Amino acid sequence: MANYEYHAANSRGHINHEWLDTYHTFSFASYYNPERMHFGVLRVLNDDTVAPAEGFGKHPHDNMEIVTIPLEGELEHVDSMGHKEILRYGDIQVMSAGSGIYHSEYNKNEETPLKLLQIWILTNKKDATPRYDQTTLNISDRHNKLQEIISPDQNNGTLWLHQNAWFSLGQFDKDITALYNIKNKRNGLYAFCIRGSFSVDGHLLNERDGLGIWDTDSVSIKSELDNSDILLMDIPML
């Protein structure tokens, strides 16, 4: 029988630093909740709004798989591997911090906010060679269906992680249904409603609500509003 863990948007940790307005689904920085440490290997799910011309200065990471999904605006990324990139809505960034990297992230625009999701996944390969990758997606490929964007497979055309994890994005009109089959019997699924509203296995998710699901082979999804966006993370449960 499937198990469920619901995280309402208004139950997340919230910190407003003026330059950064951030919501934490799981314990992060000064937000600590012993009941919200992780879901399987999903360690961080941060929902950030960065003020114009502001950002995160140079800082280190190691032994973590980091996924960044811009939602609005322009993200300028610079790292110790020599990358300097601008990411926008439709782009996806993956960084394997491995044995150690430094990077900075800034809002490139001086007038409008930057909105993004940053996700940390526990790695299955310690001290790997640091790695950076990004791609620009065709947004129409997720209209009324799920678009796989990340997998463990280095050869199938998606971005990849050092983890048995699959990420998918969907953008649905009202009353469209989809069935998602879990990729690995040891995995669970974390569904995050980016925009709009969904029924996920009968559980209503409104904007920025999350739902963890495990001990099941498949999950049903139905959009409750037009222009609804969802992120699915199919991940090991530790």
User: Residue 182 sits in a domain of what CATH number?
Assistant: 2.60.120.10
165 in Cβ contact with 150 (< 8 Å): yes
Q: Are residue 41 and residue 132 in the same domain, yes or no?
A: yes
Predicted pLDDT of residue 191:
99
137 in Cβ contact with 147 (< 8 Å): yes
pTM > 0.95: yes
Number of independent structural domains in the chain: 2
* Residue span of the structural domain in which 90 resides: 13-136
Predicted pLDDT of residue 156:
82
- Which residues, given as ranges, of the chain have pLDDT below 50? none
Predicted pLDDT of residue 52:
98
Answer with the one of 105, 136, 167 that is the final residue of a domain: 136
Q: Are residue 114 and residue 24 in the same domain, yes or no?
A: yes
Q: Does 8 fall in a domain?
A: no
Q: Are residue 114 and residue 200 in the same domain, yes or no?
A: no
Predicted pLDDT of residue 158:
84
Predicted pLDDT of residue 70:
98
